[in-house]
Structure 1
């Protein structure tokens, strides 16, 4: 079962069971519970970027927006278009669950990780990040947190928008969106392109490593009544990226001609109805992914993944209590094909799960509410798991909110973990058990008419962590569950201030402590690519004909491992500051000219040891809007 995506006050009005709010600008957290809840009444730590903020910041790459959220760290193996990993509160890269229009978008053909390097912002109207273990709500992979993005829906009439942009490294960006609503029917869609000749990611003056990303989406929704809707949405994403890999003789990083081609097609259908205190949601989604790797013109290998999910959910409001029951079934298929070894290491694997969920939300008084969710996942390829999420929300006054939450997370072993990888040097471990986490968080928030402040403290313990192992005798790699536990704890602070007539200012800071843990064989391992200190500042707004978005992202020092050395050595990556600015001017009511700069301070930084990133880049473009 996937979360049904709603946005804004209109959605709140449509969902009659949502708690009341006196704030006309109230927004909704869609993944903080099994059903949407108002953000001030959600017992979770969440960050939301709306369409206005996304357009003002104007970054084409979603990971640049995600890094502006507290608790989120981003690492890319080189320039844009190369593998990009998101870690929430120090969790692993495959512990973030991504939903796109309610479709589970983690790629079963890429180790179960979301393909953030393929996720662009031009078609998005909303980005939501919910931090902390959420597996009781959404199942496997929601161990570190959930990221949900949505494309636009039609609210009234007809509107068109789009942009064209050109900039550094022969970069081109173009997109178009439309939305139309007539009485009970709405239709919306988008198409976009982002490409660049890129830079030399190895950083020794070799050839450029460019990328090409294309996407399209289409969404149709029919409203048979005021309290019901039937919808279908489809997404197509295709990316091509050049990168520098490893020398096949020395197995060290080198200026190679590696390239990868990726394609994801996904669609979802749903129906939701409310009647006399009852709510019903039925939905199904399908994802098909293909990843092809080559060296120059020589094919190396390919992976293929498919996922089908279907589920149903029913809820009942009884006074101040809301009860929800849901069931889900999911099937995943994986195929690996190699050309290098003549197909000797091909893979054909499949697995499935069935899950049962029960949730109970209660308002015990105007100032006190609780939220409890229990989920049991019956996995076919590993032992089953039961997870719990329990939260208490206290509102002593209309401006203050205090919450305490306990959450559990689970992540199945990936197909790679269980069955290995086709080059023949990586052997899987079918005896693995699922990774599991237990986490607490407590937070307090104050919200006034022009400003808000919040602070949260969290601690998470990861057990049965799956790590790579290496046998120096056979030179074979495999996987194993860690004997001990990995601890993550920290503090997040965030503040927002509305500058009258100018814009909105957001500031946040995160302190993260990720401890050592005991690994298989007594080997000490430590988390990598997680900064102890990070912080962000973002300003978005407009004045007269001008529109702007500016951001500063500070990433503190963090550890990484250099495998070019033998034995591999732990190194420290320098801290850095990324500054971005977009300034637009309305030529007419419908057309805006703008310029923007990324990495304005021309900081020389690396997210992953051995891979360079772009310096200062400058872009200029035109944006148009009709019907708004």
Structure 2
């Protein structure tokens, strides 16, 4: 099958679903407005949210997917990309309809309503580590800035993860393993991952309940990066200054290929701590108390640790067969110089903690209120970077360390809601929500030089720090003004400030003045139940996403000069539209969404041609517009008892319309947003004791450069196509026992998000619940 036709697998499934609906019997159209969900009904979120959502329950996830880390639950969701490079990746970033995986602040992630999104750095992913796969009861994904209830960071995608709550004395134990076969540039190996978790909880007659969770993971990545040298446009490698080839060490093992820009390059080995061996532990205690039938409180405290040790692998061998790590080398055709630190490893030690508490009322109708607060602290985060290659770094030597101890974020939400009596629409029933939100982020990052790279207490060579704070007031009214009509009005007012921004380097220091800004973000949605099984909805919304600490203040120190990102960045402002149609029936659901996201002052790192000398840093891109069509279907019966399908496909076009700092990008495609994304899952569950499922996932080629010069996409260093087939077989041999085996990337397709994605991976899992 040709690559260009692969997305049709999902489209065919959707077309079959549509035909099934067309033949279905019409039903009476006296139902009230339906909430738009796919796969199951909403339980944890407000049923009157004016946004399109997709939901997966724990049971569905276990049946359909091989889940090793929590973020795996999202990889088959519509219009979504998860930049998970390997199991144990702490930078598993989210990409959505109109934003890339390196625009982390456009994805809002919560756990039981508590903030998990980490906006301290550009590549800081949500803190997935605070969740064990075993405790996820449902995952819900919301699209677009159409609800006033969520902060401006929801302008792309909102992910709400709900964890389990005990109903009696209960618990479970889970063990999982992966074996990855990876082969690139002649380097072949197997990389294995192991994970174990345990849950135990109880709900007592007194109204008190608790849940304890522990999770341990030991994983090793495939090579994440390679040291390369690139030829000029004529395909010629310039000879390094100094002596000629006669002074170079003859070596074998250099590989050649063409890079993302089509130019010839030489590859010398896996570098930059390419192979990451990580040991991670999570412990969490969740507790709650029901004061009476309508008032309850709950909270949690969690701790996560990580110990990473990396290694590299040089391809080069001298005439005696010894590994060559640095210096002047030649393969007889070209001469290269490898820096001493080209194959330098690093280690990283992290200790993070999070806690939260919520108090709320649970009246069936009328007024309710809730207060929720959480805090996240980086107690220890030290990355120690060697200054020489692996065998020499083992004997210590000079290097540096990056320390982020004391960084963290906080969040507070106070909300009151009003719900009318069920079924009451006479005179116009109103469901109201009014709330106050506040969050703050604090970054402290110090780089230190050291004579012994394993020592992080050397003199400081650079410091980056700052704080951001947002306070928001919001209101939303879902007005059911007729039996089949509902209008939702919302307004969010946000006040933002950045303080204590600073950069220091030897001989210079920059302290940035306090900045503040305000934004008003109106929302409007109109829904119509055409019939009991058909809903149409038109939504419009503005969302404002303010710059993060790192986007404002992080920069590069060169000698006594500091090149900062941009302390005067404007906020991103998204004006979004969506026309959604959904049809529901006993045997399935079909949804179609036309969407547009028009973003002013998008925040991105690029070359600035308006200054001399030119610099590459984080800047505002004047205007980026994305238009697309998203189709989603669930068919519970496909003519064969036990056979069902979930399918989605999205077509989009994301274009740079204005970019004053870099005119060559105007009219080009926005970065890392593919034209086509799809996923189709077929599940066969003939009874309660076993099931089999297979998923085909496709994503089109993308660009990483705003001028789209990186056209050779299916290579290391580019943003490639993804064409992956996964399979899973689940057995339930006895009550409470589950055994599963599977294969991810059955065909061993090579794909890249700059870094290589995993190769063919065998998966095995055992679970016992009581």
Q: CA deviation at 1:233?
A: 2.0
1:446 alignment partner, one of 583, 590, 594: 583
Residue of structure 1 equivalent to 2:133 = 121
Where does 1:377-456 land on structure 2 (aligned, <5 Å)?
Answer: 377-381=494-498, 382-421=516-555, 426-456=563-593
Q: Which residue of 2 aligns with 1:334?
A: 443
Are 1:61 and 2:69 matched, yes or no? yes
Q: Given the superposition, is the C-alpha separation of residues 324 and 590 from structure 1 closer, same or farther in structure 2, using an over 3 Å criterion?
A: closer
1:302 paired residue number: 403
Query: Does the 8 Å contact 2:296/2:359 carry over to 1?
Result: yes
**For residues 449 and 460 of structure 1, what CA distance do their matches in structure 2 show?**
33
CA deviations 1:67-115 (Å, max 9, x no partner) are 2111112334567515322111122332101112211112243248433
Q: CA deviation at 1:348?
A: 3.5
Q: Secondary structure at the match of 1:572?
A: coil
User: Does residue 1:373 correspond to 2:490, yes or no?
Assistant: yes
What is the alpha-carbon distance in structure 2 between the residues aligned to residue 102 and residue 538 of structure 1? Answer: 29
The answer on 1:84 being equivalent to 2:92 is: yes
State the Cα distance separating 1:379 from its structure 2 match. Answer: 0.9
Question: Any idea what SS the aligned residue of 2:62 has?
Answer: helix
Residue in 1 that maps onto 2:195? 173
Structure-2 change in CA distance of 1:164 and 1:76 (3 Å): closer
Query: CA 1:96–1:263 in structure 2 vs 1: closer, same or farther (change >3 Å)?
Result: farther
Shift of residue 624, structure 1, vs aligned partner: 0.7
Q: Greater CA radius of gyration, 1 or 2?
A: 2
- TM-superposed CA distance for 1:513, in Å, is 0.8
Alpha-carbon distance between aligned partners in 1 of 2:606 and 2:460, rounded to the nearest angstrom? 25
Q: State the partner residue of 1:315.
A: 417
Equivalent residues in 2 for 1:425-504 (5 A)?
426-470=563-607, 477-482=616-621, 484-499=622-637, 502=642, 504=644
Per-residue Cα deviation, 1:454-512 (whole angstroms, up to 9, x for no partner): 10010001111123254685575433322x31001111101101137526420000112
Contact 1:360 1:373 in 2 (8 A): yes
Shift in Å, 1:600: 1.1
Q: What is aligned with 2:360?
A: 272
- C-alpha separation between the residues in 1 aligned to 2:487 and 2:410? 33
Matches within 5 A, 1:32-111: 36-37=46-47, 42-56=49-63, 57-76=65-84, 81=89, 83-91=91-99, 92-111=103-122
Confirm or deny: 8 A CA contact 1:404 1:440 kept in the other structure.
yes
Q: Distance in 2 between matches of 1:553 and 1:394?
A: 33
Q: Which runs of 5+ in 1 are unaligned?
A: 1-17
Check 1:279–1:544 CA distance in 2 against 1; reply closer, same or farther (3 A cut). closer
Cα distance in structure 1, aligned partners of 2:352 and 2:681: 32
Of the candidates 554, 575, 578, which is equivalent to residue 724 of structure 2?
Answer: 578
Distance 1:137 1:271 in 2: 18
- 1:507–1:460 CA distance, 2 compared to 1 (3 A): same
Correspondence for 1:554 among 698, 703, 710? 698
How many angstroms does 1:261 deviate by?
Answer: 4.0
For residue 148 of structure 2, give the secondary structure of its aligned residue in structure 1.
helix
Provide Cα deviations, 1:123-153, integer angstroms capped at 9, x if missing partner: 3111111011257321131111211112111
**Does the CA contact (< 8 Å) of 1:559 and 1:571 recur in 2?**
no
SS class of match (2:71): helix
Residue number in structure 1 paired with 2:382: 292
Give, in angstroms, the shift of residue 328 of structure 1: 2.2
In 2, Cα distance between the equivalents of 1:20 and 1:437? 27
Q: Answer with 434-443 or 121-130: which moved more.
A: 121-130
How far, CA to CA, are the matches of 1:433 and 1:193 in structure 2?
A: 42
- The equivalent residue for 2:211 is 188
Quick check: 1:29–1:46 contact (8 Å CA) kept in 2?
Answer: no
- Displacement of 1:616 in angstroms is 0.8
> Residue deviations 1:2-34, cap 9 Å, x none?
xxxxxxxxxxxxxxxx9899x9x9621645xxx
Q: CA deviation at 1:166?
A: 3.0
The 1:244/1:374 distance shift into structure 2, 3 A limit, reads farther
Q: Which residue of 1 aligns with 2:172?
A: 161
2:288 counterpart of 1:221: yes
Residue number in structure 1 paired with 2:277: 210
Question: Residue 142 of structure 1 aligns to a residue in which SS?
Answer: helix
Give TM-score, length-normalised by structure 2: 0.71
Structure 2 CA distance for partners of 1:501 and 1:237, relative to 1, 3 Å: farther
Q: CA deviation at 1:435?
A: 1.1
Alignment CA distance shift 1:117-1:223 (3 Å)? closer
Contact 2:68–2:176, Cα closer than 8 Å, also in 1: no
Q: CA contact under 8 A between 1:85 and 1:116: conserved in structure 2?
A: no
Judging changes above 3 Å, is the alpha-carbon distance between structure 1 residues 79 and 523 closer, same or farther for their aligned structure 2 residues?
farther
Change in CA separation of 1:197 and 1:315 when aligned onto 2, cut-off 3 Å: closer
**Shift of residue 393, structure 1, vs aligned partner:** 1.3
How far apart in 1 are the matches of 2:361 and 2:123?
A: 32
2:156 corresponds to 1:144: yes
Q: Distance in 2 between matches of 1:489 and 1:598?
A: 31
The farther-off stretch of 68-77 and 352-361 is 68-77
Q: Measured at CA, do residues 216 and 582 of structure 1 come closer, stay the same or move farther in structure 2, by a change above 3 Å? A: farther
After alignment, is 159-168 or 469-478 more displaced? 469-478
Aligned-residue RMSD, C-alpha = 3.2
Residues 1:515 and 2:676 aligned together: no
Give SS of 1:60's match: coil
Cα displacement string for residues 235-277 of structure 1 (whole angstroms, at most 9, x for unaligned residues): 33333456689x9999999654244444432221111114571
CA distance 1:530–1:19, change in 2 (3 Å)? closer
Task: Tell me the equivalent position of 2:329.
Answer: none
CA distance in 2, matches of 1:311, 1:562: 38
- Indicate yes or no: 2:670 matched with 1:531: no
Residue 473 of structure 2 corresponds to which residue in structure 1?
Answer: 356
1:3 aligns with: none
User: Which TM-score applies when normalising by structure 1?
Assistant: 0.86
Deviations 1:577-624 (A, max 9, x none): 22222213233223233212111111111122xx22321111323211
Q: CA deviation at 1:170?
A: 2.7
Residues in 1 aligned to 2:606 and 2:49: alpha-carbon distance in whole angstroms: 41
Runs of at least 5 residues in structure 2 that lack an aligned partner in the other structure: 1-31, 180-190, 227-267, 313-324, 327-336, 387-392, 394-398, 450-457, 499-515, 715-719
Which deviations, in whole Å up to 9, do the C-alpha atoms of 1:503-525 show, x marking residues without a partner?
Answer: 64200001121112432434333
